[in-house]
Structure 1
Amino acid sequence: MDIKVNKRQEQLLNDTIAQWQQQQLIDTQQAQQLRQSYHVISFDWKLLAVYSFWAAIACFILSVILLVADDYLIALISHLIDTPASVLTILSAIIAGLLFYFGVKRRQRYPEKTVSNEAIFFFGVLITAVASGFLSHTTLALHWRESLFIIIPTVIYLIIGIQLRSVLVWLFALLGVGLWVLTETSYLAHDHYLFWGMNIPLRFTVIGLLIVGLSSIFKPNSRFYFTKEATQFIGLIYFFTALWMLTIFGNYDSLRAWSNIKQIELWGWSVAMLLITLSAIFYGIKYNDPLVRAFGIIFLLLCLYSRYFEFFWDTLHKALFFAILALSFWIIGGRAEKIWQLGNKG
């Protein structure tokens, strides 16, 4: 078996094999055989393929968003082609179905082309959203809530994502869930900032925690296990982004109320975020969860920098602030190194 790896992966494998050999877990011949089982690719064509497809998809997204978001443009197109919105809805739904069908057939024929196969599913996702946009302009749906046109494609994404075992479609289902919750709670709150005493950022911390909790119940023998990491990722995105926004805006019911407070009054949210991010880093290290660890580190730094710009930009010298940060991280690193050395001795 010949495995293709990049230079960073090669270095990791070489170091691992050398460590095994030093610990006499493998002999020289086995180490040589392991080193010959992989080779370095000179250029990561898969990464280029991923970027190229995402660039194409991004451009297509912009065109679709502009189309769906512009009521006048949809009405103009409907008028130009003299086709009722109901017919356009059906045609869009058929096209979306054909895209998913073609994506499944292509995946069966070319299972190794994972990037382009998922890209086809992605276009199915977009055309489904377009169909929902046309549905909102039909006579039947004239008085429907706006959130219904979000939950309909979201449910479709959930079903298709599971049936096709597509992580990408599942990701858009979770994004749709977040958008639906935002739209529905805003409607139920009568366009007020608070729903059940929670503003938008606080609502999304709850949603994020629920989604992260959902990912934790996906076990290896579960049908949903292939979505575990993607579900955890979206949940952490919702939770930490919303928590960071709470440190800036708090849980106020209007922009007017927020504008009349001093930022120091939100220190409780900042302390909570510092404790949570440090806990995430500790959890990620202890249980070898790189995703949680990465979110903890990124949002810890984001929280510290945000507080600096809020409280110390005009009073504390920039060099002194970063020197304090450097010293604190040096202390943390030194402490972590001692713990790691104790673990190795044991």
Structure 2
Amino acid sequence: MDIKVNKRQGQLLSETIAQWQQQHLIDDQQAQQLRQSYHVITFDWKLLAVYSFWIAIACFILSVILLVADDYLIALISRIINTPASVLTLLSTILAGLLFFFGVRRRQRHPEKTVSNEAMFFFGVLITAVASGFLSHTTLALHWRESVFILIPTIAYTVIGLQLRSVLVWLFALFGIGLWVLTETSYLAQDHFLFWGMNIPLRFIFVGILIVGLSAIFKPHSRFYFAKEATLFVGLIYFFNALWMLTIFGNYDSLRAWSHVKQIELWGWSVAMLLITIGAIFYGIKNNNALIRAFGIIFLLLCLYSRYFEYFWDTLHKALFFAILALSFWGIGSRAEKIWQLGSKN
């Protein structure tokens, strides 16, 4: 069996086989067989396909947002088509169902085309959002609040994503949950900007925690295990972005109130973020979780850069600030190296 790997994976396999050979875990014949079992590709076409589809999807998302958000454009399309919004809602719903149906048929016929199959489901997601936009202009829904038209497609994405085992549709469900929470809580908060004493970033701290907790439910032998990594990724995005914004804005209900606050008064949020990001890094290293480790590293650096621009931009020389950071991380690296060496000896 000839396995295709990229250059980095090929280098890792080659070094591993060479080490096994030096340690006499395998003989020369076995090492040669292992080297012939994989093939290093010079260009990662799969990665290019993934990026291309994601860029295309991002462009489609932008076009849908602009379409749904523009009431004038929706009304203009309705006048051009000369069809009631209720009929357009029904037709677009049927079209969305057909797109999901043909997407499943295509996946059954060509299961090897995983990237393009997932991208095909996006068109069903797109038309579902359009159907919700048309629904908002029907007489039945004239007095419904905006969050309802976000909740309806979000529920649809949740059910369809889990039933079809589609990571792409499930991602839209998770982002829809965040958008619904933002819209609904903002409506309930009205002009106070605080919902149960929490501003928007603090609310999303709990949204992120709940979604990260949801990812822990998906066990390896579960039918929904396919959604575990995507769920964890979205939950971490919500959580760490909200935490970073809290270190800048705090839990204030308006920009006017925040403008009278000195940044030094928000030091508690900064300390919390430093401890959480460092904890995420150590958790990721200990449990070999690259995703949590990466989030910890990225947001630790982001927190340090933010604090530098807030506290030390005008007072501390740039070279001195980064020298202090370099020495601190050198110390951490040296300590980690000693621990690693002790583990290797054992």
TM superposition score category, shorter chain reference: over 0.9
Deviation at 1:341, TM superposition (A): 0.6
Query: Mapping of 1:287-302 within 5 angstroms?
Result: 287-302=287-302
Q: Which residue is 1:235 aligned to?
A: 235
Give the distance between the partners of 1:230 and 1:103, measured in 2 at CA.
20
Tell me the equivalent position of 2:336.
336
1:310 and 2:316 correspond: no
Aligned length: 346
Q: Secondary structure at the match of 1:4?
A: strand
Aligned to 2:105: 105
Shift of 1:145: 1.7
| CA-CA distance at 1:286 after TM superposition | 0.7
1:56 is displaced (CA, Å) by 2.3
Q: 1:136-195 deviations in whole A, cap 9, x for unaligned?
A: 111000111211111110110011011110011111101001111111111121242211
Task: Determine the C-alpha separation between the residues in 2 that align with 1:224 and 1:191.
Answer: 40
Q: How far apart are 1:124 and its partner, in Å?
A: 0.9
User: Which residue matches 1:171?
Assistant: 171
Aligned with 2:193: secondary structure?
A: coil
Letter in 2 for 1:300: L
The equivalent residue for 1:95 is 95
What is the correspondence of 1:4-83 to structure 2 with a 5 Å cutoff?
4-83=4-83
Question: Is 1:279 equivalent to 2:284 in the alignment?
Answer: no
Query: TM-score, normalised to structure 1's length?
Result: 0.98
Query: Structure 2: 5+ residue runs without aligned partners?
Result: none
Deviation at 1:21, TM superposition (A): 2.2
Change in CA separation of 1:20 and 1:192 when aligned onto 2, cut-off 3 Å:
farther
Instruction: Name the amino acid aligned to 1:251.
Output: N
Aligned counterparts of 2:240 and 2:291: Cα–Cα separation in 1:
12
Q: Percent identity?
A: 85
Q: In the aligned structure 2, how far is the partner of 1:270 from the partner of 1:340?
A: 30
Q: CA deviation at 1:12?
A: 1.0
Distance (whole Å) between structure 1 residues aligned to residue 41 and residue 284 of structure 2: 31
Task: Write the letter of the residue equivalent to 1:151.
Answer: L
Gaps of 5+ in 1: none
Q: Which residue of 2 aligns with 1:195?
A: 195
CA distance in 2, matches of 1:266, 1:195: 20
Whole-angstrom distance in 1 between the partners of 2:216 and 2:19: 33
Q: State whether structure 2 residue 95 is matched by structure 1 residue 114.
A: no
Which residue identity is paired with 1:176?
G
CA distance in 2, matches of 1:10, 1:57: 31
Pairwise CA RMSD of aligned residues?
Answer: 1.1
Q: 1:320: which partner in 2?
A: 320
What is the rounded CA distance, in whole Å, between the counterparts of 2:43 and 2:68 in structure 1?
A: 39
Higher deviation after alignment, 312-321 or 239-248? 312-321
Q: Which amino acid aligns with 2:208?
A: G
In structure 2, C-alpha distance between the alignment counterparts of 1:195 and 1:111, rounded to whole Å: 46
Deviation at 1:112, TM superposition (A): 0.7
Distance in 2 separating the partners of 1:52 and 1:290: 24
Q: State the Cα distance separating 1:58 from its structure 2 match.
A: 2.5
Question: Matches of 2:109 and 2:285 in 1, distance apart?
Answer: 41
Calculate the TM-score normalised by the size of structure 2. Answer: 0.98
Looking at structure 2, the residues matched to 59 and 254 of structure 1 have their Cα atoms a distance apart, in angstroms, of 33
Distance in 2 between the 1:177 and 1:61 partners? Answer: 16
Q: What is the alpha-carbon distance in structure 2 between the residues aligned to residue 311 and residue 201 of structure 1?
A: 22
Return the alpha-carbon distance in structure 1 between the equivalents of residues 345 and 95 of structure 2.
Answer: 62
Give 2:127's aligned amino acid.
I
After TM superposition, give the deviation of residue 282 of structure 1 in Å: 0.5
Match of 1:248 in 2: 248
SS at match of 2:203: helix
Per-residue CA distance 1:58-88 (angstroms, 9 max, x = gap): 3222222221110001101111111111111
SS at match of 2:146: coil
Q: Following the alignment from structure 2 to structure 1, what is the Cα–Cα distance between the partners of residues 174 and 58?
A: 19
Distance (Å, rounded) in 2 between the aligned partners of 1:157 and 1:143:
24
Q: Distance in 2 between matches of 1:79 and 1:5?
A: 54
Question: Secondary structure of 1:315's partner?
Answer: coil
Partner of 2:135: 135
Counterpart in the other structure of 1:158: 158
SS in structure 2 at match of 1:140: helix
Residue identity opposite 2:95 in structure 1: I
Partner Cα separation in structure 2 for residue 213 and residue 250 of structure 1? 24
| SS of alignment partner, residue 140 of structure 2 | coil
Q: 4+ runs of 1 displaced by more than 3 Å?
A: none
Deviation track 1:276-314 (CA, whole Å, cap 9, x = no partner) reads 000000100111111110000000000000000111111
**Matched letter for residue 323 of structure 1:** A
Return 12-21 or 203-212, whichever deviates more: 12-21
Query: Structure 1, residues 212-270: CA drift from partner, whole Å, max 9, x if none?
Result: 11111211122221111111111000000000000000011221111100000000000
